Amino acid sequence: MSRRAAGIAALSILLSLVGCSSDELVYVFETTTSVAATTEADSTVLERRTDDGVAEDASSRVAGASTTSTSLVVSTTTSEVSEFPGEYDGQLRHVDVVGDVLPPLTNPHSDEAVGMSIPQLVGEDYDGNDVSFGPEDGVATLVVFLAHWCPHCNNEVPEINLVRDADAWPAGLRVIGVSTAVAPDRPNFPPQRWLVEKDWTYPVIADAIDFERATFVAGEAYGVTGFPFMTLVDEQGKVRGRWSGEIGADGLVSLVSSLLDPPADA
């Protein structure tokens, strides 16, 4: 068996282990409960529409609440990808990583990546347009890693949209998505259509796969260990914080604002 064929087989096994029930998760993935933040900062009250059309106050879901995510264990190196199998139907694109990769997130309360410069990602969106971002951009950025099959991503994208529609992000913040962990046999494939259905309007990079090592290139470069996974970067290109899971619209506003503008005694 060739190295590439062996890599495809390994990746198929990895993706087959994906689930969101602890009964289904083996070795690579696990469902975790974590605390995204402990700040009690005031949050913007955003309204969320329920299925019956009644507006619901989202302020009960603030930073500090318990969050659930689907976790992924990855390594910390990158590799160039030359071609992708047809079953991915154009849902993978080439991604270049420039700079040192970030370590995997193992403890959100003591993240060794905080203060590190992010690596630059150079890739494409699903229309073939160039999308890139890096430490020299001079723009505070929230990088959101999304997996189309993950129910936590499906729950959190509408919350991100609530913040967008309320114009509640800190002034000047840029939001960029990365569509990763693509799996043709999982729900909501292809992610290109899924993102449109979820009303995702921010720029997005389509991740690549290194089949020889069975890893997703952009995801491992940022130390992704769960979905949804977010990395907050300041104007100097330094990591201010990383977390995974659902925290809701108000939780996102509170957490991002506090990390970008921490109190003087922090």
DSSP letters, 45-77, are: --EEE-TTS-EEE-TTS-TTSEEEEEEE---S-
What is residue 146's predicted lDDT score, i.e. its pLDDT? 98
**pLDDT tops 90 at residue 223:** yes
Least reliable range by pLDDT among 16-25, 91-100, 157-166: 16-25
Mean pLDDT taken over the chain? 77
**pLDDT tops 50 at residue 3:** no
Mind listing the pLDDT tens digit for each residue in 154-213? 999 999 999 999 999 999 999 999 999 999 999 999 999 999 999 999 999 999 999 888
Q: List the chain domain ranges.
A: 3-260
Over range 88-93, report the average pLDDT: 92
Q: Can you say whether the dihedral through the CA atoms of 182, 185, 187, 193 is positive or negative?
A: positive
Q: How far is CA 139 from its chain centroid?
A: 18
**pLDDT tops 90 at residue 13:** no
Portion of the chain with pLDDT greater than 90, in percent: 61
Rounded to two decimals, what is the model's pTM? Answer: 0.75
Query: Domain 3-260, CATH 3.10.28.10 — does that match?
Result: no
What is residue 74's predicted lDDT score, i.e. its pLDDT? 37
Q: What is the Cα–Cα distance from 167 to 75, expressed in whole angstroms?
A: 36
**pLDDT tops 60 at residue 81:** no
Banded pLDDT at 89 (limits 50, 70, 90): confident
Higher-scoring residue by pLDDT: 17, 80 = 80
How many Cβ atoms sit within 10 Å of the Cβ of residue 86? 8
Question: Which is nearest to 15 in space by CA: 203, 157, 187?
Answer: 187
What is residue 134's predicted lDDT score, i.e. its pLDDT? 98
What is residue 111's predicted lDDT score, i.e. its pLDDT? 97
Using alpha carbons only, give the angle 114, 181, 187 rounded to the nearest 5 degrees: 135
